[in-house]
Chain A
Amino acid sequence: MAPMRWPRRTLLVLILLAVWQWVVPHIVTTGPAFFPLPADVADGFTSLLGSARFWRSVVTSVGRVLAGFTVATAIGVVLGIAIGVAPRVEAFVDLTIEMLRPLPAMAWIPIAILWFGVGDVSSVFLVALGAFFPIVLNAAAGARTTARDYGKAALTSGAGPWLRFRRVTLPGALPWVLLGCRVGLGVGWMVIVSAEMVGAQSGLGFLIMEARSFARIDWVVACMIVIGLIGIGLDSTLERVQRRAAPWWGRVAA
């Protein structure tokens, strides 16, 4: 069964594309300006890949997302692990985190523009804000769970606080931290596209809005595909890190 799946799936996709290219135009008569045909998108894609502006936009967006993500990871991991191991720290920050968390990062876009203007700083701020909460919450859960499940074993082995932290809490929390990072990076990527649509003069989000205002619907679709591909690339990179750093994660451990 399994080996037959992909040829059949490919066939299905080809049929769908063919229907889209040759049948849909006869039904939807508003014209290719609204329903870009596969051939148009392919053309748009090639011209996009050939333009320096497109590549600059990619570099700008990815750079912003990585910068914001780095900030969020640095603060989120340290704070999260502190929350997980120290009930006092948790009590100190949990109300504040719970009050800020329900607000989607997108709702910060207008105020970020007022505070930092249009451009890199507000973009990085927004990405960091969006990525921070999944990272800090997962890091805290990881440290807490590790202490619960393995704290006693570490204690009765006679290990001191530093060794327990270094050899038990940190490695135990690592997979959770990486999971939080993956979610956070995904949110960050969503946030940056949104932020660039409203509050930037550069980046993929700006480019796609511009393509729309020039009625270049083929570029819009091509940009969407690129946004999706970059999202996959970012996530699979972290997934690989996760598998390499914690091969035991997700298996029946104990």
Chain B
Amino acid sequence: MARPRQAATLGWRLVLPLALVVLWVGLSQVLTSPSAKMMLPPPEAVGGAAAQLALTVHPLFGMPPLLVHAAHSLERLALGYLAAIAVAVPLGIAIGYFRGADTYVNFLVQAMRPISPVAWIPLALAWFGVGITTVVFIVFYGAFFPIVANTIAGVRGTSRTYVRAAVASGCGQLRILRRIILPAALPTILTGMRVGLGVGWMSIVAAELVGTQSGLGYLISEARFHLDIESVVVGMLAIGVLGVLSDRGMRWLQTVLVPWQPRA
């Protein structure tokens, strides 16, 4: 029923975004005082800053600064995130599968969970100093909990019938873990990894605002310090775009790794 209306709704969907752009352009034409420009930079100023940051080679880095900062952020994100997967997935499987791990480890994990990754920033700074280790640690910590929680849920949620069917066909423990429980839990684990990546992005921005001398979080923090709102906006756009791209990547990974799950 909705099909013939779709062409009409596309125009309707563009109304608000276009109106906001028009409002932005209009306001920046009207408000031209220096203080107003500080609050609401005109589009051409943002474009100029974007060109400056993304295209002009920085004499120190030998690359455009935006790319350098983005590369640093992505490197830290990748390190912390991969470390979180490497620790959280085996730990989650152990907790979900073995009673002993559930009794003696799970409650410790759950006790740590309420302390948000940003609350660790000061301690991480004290331990690791200003630099990459602090940021990687915060990303690791932020991404860890969604992944471990979903891995536990996925392992526990594996239907007992599947396990029984496997036992009945003469499967050993290890094979059951590898052929039954892991694939059955995989969709849930991947969902946890996707959530973890989102939390990782929040954490990396928060950590870079105070704990580094590079990265996109540092870029917007530093630009704010110099009252350079155009660069702040460019940095925010970069964070948003990379966030979308990484989430899309995870979604693609989900369809590749779990081809047997019907898509919604």
Contacts and interface: CB of A to CB of B under 8 A. Distances in A.
Given A91-B12, A104-B201, A224-B123, A115 B39 contact: yes
Contact of A197 (B13, B210, B247): B210
A23 B15 CA distance: 65
A189 B113 CA distance: 14
Contacts of A211: 122
19 contacts: A5-B103, A13-B108, A87-B9, A96-B16, A99-B17, A102-B247, A106-B202, A109-B220, A110-B223, A111-B236, A113-B224, A193-B118, A194-B121, A194-B209, A197-B209, A197-B210, A217-B123, A220-B123, A232-B114
A22 interface: no
B86 interface: no
Contacts of A99: 17, 240
A154 interface: no
Nearest to A33: B126
Contacts of B174: none
B213 to A, nearest CB: 15
A221 B220 contact: no
Given A8-B104, A104-B205, A106-B205, A114 B239 contact: no
Contacts of A113: 224
A24 interface: no
Interface string A68-96: 00000000000000000001100111111
A224 B107 contact: no
B122 A208 contact: yes
A148 B117 CA distance: 38
Interface of B: 2, 9, 12-17, 20, 38-39, 103-104, 107-108, 114-123, 125-127, 201-202, 205-206, 209-210, 217, 220-221, 223-224, 227, 229, 232-233, 235-236, 239-240, 243-244, 247
Nearest to A98: B244
User: Which 8 pairs, one residue from A and one from B, show the smallest C-beta to C-beta distance?
Assistant: A110-B224, A212-B122, A228-B115, A228-B114, A102-B243, A104-B202, A106-B205, A103-B240
Given A105-B202, A193-B116, A228-B114, A110 B122 contact: no
B210 A190 contact: no
B16 A93 contact: yes
B103 A109 contact: no
A232 B229 CA distance: 37
B106 to A, nearest CB: 10
Nearest to B224: A110
Interface in A166-224: 189-190, 193-194, 197-198, 205, 208-209, 211-212, 215, 217, 220-221, 223-224
Contacts of A34: 126-127
Nearest to B142: A190
A209 B38 contact: no
B221 A198 contact: yes
A225 B122 contact: no
A231 interface: yes
A228 to B, nearest CB: 4
A110 B220 contact: yes
Nearest to A198: B209
Contacts of A27: none
A229 interface: yes
A186 B109 CA distance: 18
A227 interface: yes
Contacts of A88: 9, 12
A49 interface: no
A107 interface: yes
A244 interface: no
Contact of B220 (A107, A227, A232): A107
